[in-house]
Structures are given as C-alpha cells and as structure tokens.
Amino acid sequence: MQQARTGESTIRNETIVERTADRELVVTRTFDAPAHIVFDAWTKPELLKRWWAPKSFGVSLFECESDLRVGGNYRYAFGRDPRYPEVFSGRYVEVTSPSRLVLTQVYERMSDAGEAVVTATFEESQGRTRLTLHQLFPSKEALEGALASGMETGMRVTLDQLDALVVSMR
Amino acid sequence: MDSETLAALGEPNRLRIIELLRAGPRPVNDIRCRLGLRQSQASQHLKVLKDVGLVEMEPRAQQRFYRLRAQPLKQLHKWLDRYRHIWEERFEQLDEIVEELKRKEKSDAAGKDR
C-alpha cells in the first residue's frame, strides 16, 4: 500500500491519500464531530456549497442539486465563471445515513470516459468521525480526464518519495 | 504528461531505478545488478522511463549510462502538491461547517432543556 501524508503537526487531523488498487484512490480524514454532522455537511447542498470548492483556487460551487435517496440524482456545477461551469453529476447507489454513501460520478466534459464510483464511509468513535473516501475510476481515460480537470488523480507514488527525490535534485 | 509520469513510476522496480539514480548517473549493468533484474527487464524499464522523459541515456566509453532528469519529477511533485492542497483545503473548510453545526446542535439542545 502506498501512502502520501501531509507533513503537518500531529495536532491537526491528517489527510491521508492512498492508492490501494490500479484505478482506486482513497482519501482519509478524521473530523472532531459525530458522524451525523459530517454526513449532513457532506450531503446537504446548502452546506456543500460552503466547503466543497477550495477557495484559494478561486473556484466556487455555483449550483448543487441533490436528491438524496437511492437512484436519486445530484449535480455540482463549479468553476471560476458561472457562465462556463465544470460539471460533476451522477446518482446515489446507496444512502445509509449517517454511515455510508455510494454514488456514481461523471465529469461531464469527459462523459465518454464513463462513470467513477465513489464510496464514502463515516465511522464514528468517541464523538469523532473518520471519513474514508474511495474513488474508483472506470478506466485510464477517465482517470486522465479527471487529471486534466486538475481536481482528482490516481497516485502511484507517494508524496514522501517525491519530496525526497525533488529535494535531492535541487 | 503527468499521468504518464505517474504510470511510469507506478511500477516498483522503476521507482527503485529512479531512487538509485538520485546518487548520480549509472551504467545499465550496474543498475541491473543492484536491483537484481534480468537484462531484458532492466532494458524495458529504462525504456519506459526514457520515453516519459524521467531519465536520459549518455554513452560513455563502451557503456550506456542513465541519468535522472529533474524536470518531469519537479512538475509531478508540483501537481501532486496541488492535489493534496485541494483536499486539505476542502477539509479545513468542512471543519468550520462541522464546528458550526456542533454549536448549533448544542444550543438547540440547551433551548429544549429550558
């Protein structure tokens, strides 16, 4: 198993990125709150709009529609300019509040590449919640499409290894 | 380019070759022996690394030396760093929402108790 860790202080909750299989990427993070709160923040559009888009990248989530039930659809439109949004959409495959969510995901610019399957699990322990996000890409092309969007990728080498390589080459 | 670089590094022996070459250029035979690879394996891995621009070959006397090329690794590092930052920033923003929801829940519960 390959891992990339953030080299931050131990006081902060660490974001861990792992590549567990050829097309699968796993992101793990713990939150200081019970699962039902993290699940809500992850599924309610008015809350998603406030955190999903990384602000320092200058992007916002313009539209967020979510019909949170098995077979229900969702759609996120984000980007720098609302006139030219990037769109992720898909449907919910499994909705088990507040512990598990499975959804399909299509990056509309690359819709020919097929659907990714995203599984989010929320494990509560002593008032804290560990979120595990599995992203299974349908193909190499889809992975490359996601890569081109600059938002997701499959990682085959750890960031620690790259850190060491890059530092040693300066 | 990034995904090809990633794919090239995805094979453990290729990553070991890259790590070995950090110390400086080495001849093919030296790489092969140190990593316990067959001639054909070593050649194949080096070809993949050369094709994505991670290494370059230079003939010295009778031997072929391979040397690391910094640029693709630096680009890849920059890109992965950006990826990590996206998730970190999202989660930090999510922390704020989660704290807000916790406070709200607490004050709602206190309201009920009154």
CATH number of A132's domain: 3.30.530.20
Cis peptide before B12 (omega within 30 of 0): no
Query: Which residues, in sequence order, are CB contacts of A44 under 8 Å at separation 6+?
Result: A66
Mean pLDDT score, B91-102: 94
Residue of A nearest to B21 (CA): A165
| Number of domain units in chain A | 1
Q: Is residue A169 part of a domain?
A: no
Across A22-26, A144-148, B11-15, the highest mean pLDDT is recorded for B11-15
Q: Is residue A18 part of a domain?
A: yes
The more confidently predicted of residues A67 and A19 is A67
Query: Residue B83: its pLDDT value, please?
Result: 66
Residues of A in contact with B77 (CB under 8 A): 159, 162-163, 165-166
The more confidently predicted of residues B9 and A81 is A81
Phi, psi of A99 (to 5 degrees): -115, -20
Q: Where does the pLDDT of residue B24 fall: very low under 50, low under 70, confident under 90, or very high at 90 and above?
A: confident
Distance CA A122, CA B5 (A): 33
Query: Could you tell me the residue range of the domain that residue A84 belongs to?
Result: 2-163
Contact of A57 with chain B, judged by CB distance below 8 Å, is answered with: yes
Q: Which two tokens stand for residue A135?
A: 């992203």
Distance from CA of A30 to the nearest CA of B (A): 9
The more confidently predicted of residues A83 and A5 is A83
Lowest mean pLDDT, pick from A2-11, A64-73, B3-12, B101-110: A2-11
Q: Is residue A61 part of a domain?
A: yes
The more confidently predicted of residues A59 and A12 is A59
Query: Residue A122: its pLDDT value, please?
Result: 96
Q: Could you give the domains of chain B? A: 2-69 (1.10.10.10)
Distance CA A147, CA A134 (A): 16
What is the ipTM score, two decimals? Answer: 0.74
Question: What global pTM score does this model have?
Answer: 0.66
Distance CA B45, CA A110 (A): 31
Residues of B in contact with A41 (CB under 8 A): 94, 97-98, 101
Q: Where does the pLDDT of residue A67 fall: very low under 50, low under 70, confident under 90, or very high at 90 and above?
A: very high
Give the Cα-Cα-Cα angle B20, B28, A169 (nearest 5 degrees): 35
Enclosing H/E stretch for B108: helix B70-113
Q: Is residue A170 part of a domain?
A: no
Contact of B57 with chain A, judged by CB distance below 8 Å, is answered with: no
Average pLDDT, chain A: 77
Mean pLDDT score, B100-106: 93
For the cut 70, the answer to whether the pLDDT of residue A47 exceeds it is yes
Lowest mean pLDDT, pick from A74-78, A79-83, A95-99, A118-122: A79-83
* CB neighbour class for A15 (10 Å; exposed up to 12, middle 13-18, buried from 19): buried
Distance CA B104, CA B85 (A): 29
Instruction: Residue A26: count other Cβ atoms within 10 Å of its Cβ.
Output: 18
Q: What is the pLDDT of residues B27-69, one digit of tens each?
A: 999 999 999 999 999 999 999 999 988 899 998 888 899 998 8
Mean pLDDT score, A136-158: 51
User: Exposed e or buried b for every residue in B72-85, given b needs 16+ CB within 10 A?
Assistant: bbeebbebbeebbe
